[in-house]
Amino acid sequence: FLSLVAEVCCGLFVVLILSNFWFLGVLYLLWLYLDWEMPRRGGRRSQWVRSWTVWKYFREYFPITLVKTSDLSPDHNYLLGFHPHGVLAAGAFGNFCTGSSFRTLFPGLTPYLHIMPIWFSCPFFREYIMSAGMVSASKESVSYVLNNKGGGHASVIVIGGAEESLNAHPGGLTLNILKRKGFIKMALRHGAHLVPVFCFGENELFKQVANPKGSRLRTVQEKLQKIMGFALPLFHARGVFQYSFGLIPYRQPLHTVVGSPIPVQQNLNPSTEEIEQLHALYLQKLRTLFEEHKRNYGIPEHKTLVFE
């Protein structure tokens, strides 16, 4: 969906440049130059955009539910690790970029969803995604959010990233996380409490063409992901008036469970051992969160998370 909207926005910009109103395009380019750093400086959210009625229907379509398991004090800053990525990370968008129940469940906290910096290079589209509360996933951006002295900021990072989207098959529980420790280092440097978040149903929204590791398709996808920075999963779901084929996600309930915070003491220069220890603790808490709630959302008892 974001890709489609981005393409439309870029197309509109090209049309504007080639039209009699080309000077407006030039003015926007000047604005883009002056405003280039904003996605790394907290963005420019709009509660009006986040409260559009269309997002209410978007959340109700699946539906999307946010589940609280513990209080998060606004006196601290938090780094929320969202799992799994799925094909489009619909749960992350629905819960943290629209007028969801987040503000009611966690009063005093402002969520910032970090996404790939490339999205902010698209004319016009960047203005919308910043209005929704999205910011760059760069180190500078995460540091800016977590450096809020008064607390009350929550960086939301989809830990598995683009690589994990290639594992987004119905029933799949494989998370790309063993080598991803940058978020741990950021939490330590800023003393941000870590919070595991798991979205049950995220991998059920689309069916993806079989791409087991080692297959020709997976090899091509992985090479393209390294070149372009984002993955290209081949997926389908339902259509507007039929359920056999299309790009509209299936109506699968999404239950996003926010776990208990892991207290983190600030350490400006954490050692490799300290990073490894906190990473191991995070994995333990994430697995515990999944095991405690999987029965509520139709996950068979014998199935568990796979870390790779």
Q: Where does the pLDDT of residue 242 fall: very low under 50, low under 70, confident under 90, or very high at 90 and above?
A: confident
Q: Is residue 131 part of a domain?
A: yes
Residues above pLDDT 70, as percent of the chain: 97
**Mean pLDDT across the stretch 132-159?**
97
Q: Is residue 28 part of a domain?
A: no
Q: Is residue 265 part of a domain?
A: yes
Q: What is the pLDDT of residue 4?
A: 57
Q: Is residue 1 part of a domain?
A: no
Instruction: Report how many domains make up the chain.
Output: 1
- CA dihedral (178, 180, 184, 186) in degrees, to 10, reads 170
Q: Tens digits of per-residue pLDDT, 172-192?
A: 999 999 999 999 999 999 999
Q: What is the pLDDT of residue 5?
A: 66
Q: Is residue 20 part of a domain?
A: no
Averaged pLDDT score across all residues of the chain: 92
Whichever domain contains 209, its CATH number is 3.40.1130
Q: How crowded is the C-beta side of 5, counted as CA atoms within 13 Å?
A: 10
Q: Is residue 82 part of a domain?
A: yes
Q: Tens digits of per-residue pLDDT, 66-88?
A: 999 999 999 999 999 999 999 98
**How far is 88 from 39, CA to CA, in rounded Å?**
20
The residues that bridge with 200 in the sheet, in sequence order, are 255
The parent domain of residue 193 ranges over: 37-307
**How far is 179 from 56, CA to CA, in rounded Å?**
36
Q: Is residue 197 part of a domain?
A: yes
Q: Is residue 2 part of a domain?
A: no
For residue 6, pLDDT over 90 is answered with no
